[in-house]
Amino acid sequence: MIIMDSRSQLIVDVIAKVTQGKISINSASQLLNKSRRTIERYLSRYRAEGIRFIVHGNKGRAPINRTPESLKKQVLHLIQTKYYDFNLQHLAELLAENEGLSIKRETLRGWAHEIKHVKRAKRRRSQVRKYRERMESPGLMLQMDGSPHRWFGDSRSCLIAIIDDATSDIHAEFYPSETTEGCMKVMKAYIEKRGLFKTLYVDRAGIFGGPKRCHFSQMQRACEELGIEIIFANSPQGKGRVERCFDTFQDRLVPELRLHNITDMHSANEYLQKVFIPIYWQQKITVKAKSKLSAFKAVPEHIDLDTICVYKEYRKVRRDHTFSYNNKMYVIDSPIRYSIVNQKLEIRSQFDGTFSVYFGHRKLHITELEEPPRGSEFGMEVQRKLDVIELAQTLGSVTKAAQVAGCSRQSIYTYQKVLEEEGVLGLKRINKPLKRNKNRIPQVTEEKIVELTLNNPYRTSLQLMTELKRDHNITVSSATIRNIWKREVMNTRELRVKRAASLNKEI
């Protein structure tokens, strides 16, 4: 049985009429849009095989270059179980490297589409932006940014990277978050490796001295001391070099870290520095600069990176040659020929918490002043409450303790209850009753609002305001009612219903 489509049926009918002499070969060539040689070949095959000539000889045969079905199943199993978060190009590379399977990318694409398991690229931006050429020489401009992401394990971390605009040479490290410490360490490591560069292209984050911190950014201060100019981008697309590098890292580095069972920051940094950047990034991503002249300069001998890439703060010297830092007092022990009262000291704080004090370029020796303790470790007020509780236990009578301490019995009962339930910190949170604001509504009105609210917790503030004015001749605004609800922890309908239900159970 031969099944033919309309085109095949037309060819058979025309060739049959040619053999019957009803139409000529030239007419058949025009009807079928075939050459005369093809029509003659059809005729010879029709006389030899009949209408079976229309069936191609390879029909039903497997292609000679067809991939074995067992190999396809093996690759699909690897995609679903081991390489499920790799893109197709990366997948083809790892299959050849780790599994010894050489599969073309387009073949992998077809197989992945069959199981609906394709890691798609992000949508392109619709806004057209002007293309900017790379810098001509390395070291003219470097871009820096941080990318918070779930790079390894279950917690989020931040990858801080600095990349050369001319060559895409990169240095990156993982940190818990994008902080001044992390940015300084990354910049310092790159300077130690390549040298000083001209400009640093960053976003307007406060770390780099954006609008909010334009006067006290540590990164901006360090760059000024190193002679590096900071340029602020007006949009993320402006520093697209570092933004696109984060796309590549998220696409390739994340699945590789998962594949190697890396879940801690130290191992992730080690893999990034020793494997990913040297083997993949340096070999396949970096490019040659247009100019062979490098703009990097060696760090001068008079510049010490360890004294620049630190936190620097300034304190004024008091009349007794002391200063305060981190809520502590220090006295200057170094012999000083002249008084430096009201002069500013430079405090260089290292990332490990240690610090040193300089006046000009001279390091000063200092000693911490230990002040005598004031009251107890919990404070005078908390100690007084603890003494009252202890007095009640010693006398065995709350009434006598109240008379001796000069407070009410209810206060002592409250102190005992809070100490038992919340501990000493609970006593610290007990404040003295504050004076009511003269503009605040009377206490009786507040109690009436709470009472009516609990009687019908489903009412809105507007409905309650109307009822107060109509039935009780009390004029308050709906905002005042909502403030009272918030103070009484009844600012939502669920809380009011729950409060009313608990009150009904007690009754």
Per-residue pLDDT of the chain (507 residues; tens, 9 = 90+): 677 778 888 888 888 888 888 889 898 888 889 899 998 988 888 888 888 888 877 777 777 777 888 888 888 888 888 888 888 888 888 888 888 888 888 888 888 888 877 666 555 556 667 778 899 999 999 999 999 999 998 889 999 999 999 999 999 999 998 888 999 999 999 999 999 999 999 988 878 876 655 556 889 899 999 999 999 988 888 888 999 999 999 999 999 999 999 999 999 999 999 999 999 999 999 999 999 899 999 999 889 998 899 999 999 999 888 999 988 889 999 888 888 889 999 999 988 888 999 998 899 999 988 765 555 555 677 888 888 888 888 888 888 888 777 788 888 888 888 888 877 777 766 654 445 566 678 888 888 898 899 888 888 888 898 889 888 888 888 888 988 888 888 888 888 888 888 887 766
Structural domains of the chain, count: 6
Domain boundary at 284, 318, 335, which? 284
Residue 373 confidence (pLDDT): 53
Q: Are residues 183 and 229 in the same domain?
A: yes
* Residue 423 falls inside a structural domain: yes
* Residue 134 falls inside a structural domain: no
Domain boundary at 407, 429, 451, which? 429
Q: Are residues 160 and 85 in the same domain?
A: no
Residue 278 confidence (pLDDT): 94
Q: Are residues 449 and 420 in the same domain?
A: no
* Residue 130 falls inside a structural domain: no
* Residue 125 falls inside a structural domain: no
Residue 212 confidence (pLDDT): 57
Residue type for position 139 = G
Q: Which stretches does DSSP call E strand in 327-479?
A: 328-332, 344-349, 355-359, 362-364, 366-369
Q: Are residues 148 and 266 in the same domain?
A: yes
* Residue 131 falls inside a structural domain: no
Separation between Cα atoms, residue 278 and residue 251, nearest integer Å: 17
Domain boundary at 369, 400, 418, which? 369
Residue 120 confidence (pLDDT): 61
* Residue 375 falls inside a structural domain: no
Half-sphere exposure of 220 (CA within 13 A, CB side): 19
Q: Are residues 354 and 391 in the same domain?
A: no
Q: Are residues 425 and 449 in the same domain?
A: no
Q: Which residues are CB-contacts of 268 (< 8 A; sequence separation ≥ 6)?
A: 151, 152, 157, 174, 257, 262
Taking the CB of residue 96, how many other CB atoms lie within 10 A of it?
12
H-helix or E-strand spanning residue 436: none
Closest to 277 in 3D by CA, of 148, 143, 173, 183? 173
Q: Are residues 228 and 314 in the same domain?
A: no
Q: Are residues 169 and 252 in the same domain?
A: yes
β-pair type (311-316, 229-232): unpaired
Q: Are residues 452 and 482 in the same domain?
A: yes
Using CA of residue 188, residue 189, residue 192, residue 198, what is the dihedral sign? negative
Separation between Cα atoms, residue 362 and residue 360, nearest integer Å: 6
Residue 271 confidence (pLDDT): 95
Separation between Cα atoms, residue 262 and residue 254, nearest integer Å: 10
Using CA of residue 268, residue 272, residue 273, residue 274, what is the dihedral sign? positive
Please classify residue 378 by burial: count the beta carbons closer than 10 Å to its beta carbon, then call 0-12 exposed, 13-18 middle and 19+ buried. Answer: middle
* Residue 27 falls inside a structural domain: yes
Is the CB of residue 407 less than 8 Å from the CB of residue 388? yes
Closest to 125 in 3D by CA, of 235, 202, 249, 242? 235
Separation between Cα atoms, residue 484 and residue 453, nearest integer Å: 10
Residues of the domain holding 364: 310-369
H-helix or E-strand spanning residue 464: helix 461-471
Is the CB of residue 157 less than 8 Å from the CB of residue 272? no
Q: 1-16 burial, b if ≥16 CB within 10 A, otherwise e?
A: eeeeeeeeeebbebbe
Q: Are residues 401 and 365 in the same domain?
A: no
Residue 433 confidence (pLDDT): 47
* Residue 128 falls inside a structural domain: no
Closest to 153 in 3D by CA, of 291, 286, 265? 265
Residue 335 confidence (pLDDT): 87
Residue 379 confidence (pLDDT): 63
Q: Are residues 174 and 238 in the same domain?
A: yes
Q: Are residues 152 and 278 in the same domain?
A: yes
CA–CA–CA angle 54, 57, 46 (5° rounding)? 35
Residue 246 confidence (pLDDT): 93
Taking the CB of residue 257, how many other CB atoms lie within 10 A of it?
20
Separation between Cα atoms, residue 311 and residue 179, nearest integer Å: 12
Closest to 351 in 3D by CA, of 184, 209, 186? 184
